[in-house]
Amino acid sequence: MDESYRRSLLARVPQQPPFRFIDEIVEIGDDLVVGRYRFQEGSDFYRGHFPGDPVTPGVILIEAMAQAGVVALGLHLAEASTTPGGAGLRTMFSEADVEFTGPVKPGSTVTTTAHKLYFRLGKLKVHAEMRLDDGTLVCSGNLAGVGVCAAETAHAVQAPLSPARGVAKPRHSTTMAAVSRLASERNRRLDGMRFLRRRLLGVDLP
């Protein structure tokens, strides 16, 4: 894809500073995405992790890999699909199995490369690797996310105060309900597909 498309795709990633961890989409295709990011020395999380010897938290490294490998690639695949409303999906991070093999210090530039494992029924799963500029592997693993209609995520849960006790009263989250409905529908379809493949071909879906 050309540079103008990559810039446009980056602009559509919903995470914004100070919680955006992609500076550039270097490469994008139907099976691969490559993104780069430089961790700024002044980022607030370094003040407590760890004072005097700051290291980028693992959860931030996972977020950086997910923003490139799941969100950006997921947007590209959804918009390129023929599914009605594909362009209106927002990716909800759903799972991670990541191994950490090295530290990322403030000021380091990292490159995330993610390869699609599968994209079906609104769910994207990738294998991602993050490396420093010298090629050192700092973390790798499998990440996944589910596409949810952006209109539904706009009605995020709010917890009003209870007049009687002055505490927050939980309210049903429409976002999580949307994720649950999509996951249930996906599982129902996969069960049907597995049944048909077992009957017709004698094989099962992964």
SS3 79: helix
Domain hosting residue 108, numbered range: 3-155
Residue 178 lies in a domain: no
- Give me the CATH number covering residue 26: 3.10.129.10
Owner of token pair 């490369």: 113
> Average pLDDT in the 41-57 region?
96
Q: Is a pLDDT exceeding 80 seen at residue 206?
A: no
Residue 171 lies in a domain: no
Which of 6-10, 44-48, 194-198 shows the lowest mean pLDDT across its residues? 194-198
> Average pLDDT in the 107-112 region?
98
Q: Contact, 54 vs 133, CB < 8 A? A: no
Residue 161 lies in a domain: no
Domain count, the chain: 1
pLDDT at 173: 44
Q: Is a pLDDT exceeding 80 seen at residue 186?
A: no
Active site residues: 49
Nearest-angstrom CA–CA distance, 113 and 182 = 27
Residue 195 lies in a domain: no
Look up the pTM and report it.
Answer: 0.74
> Average pLDDT in the 28-51 region?
97
pLDDT tens sequence across 134-171? 999 999 999 999 987 666 555 544 444 444 444 444 44
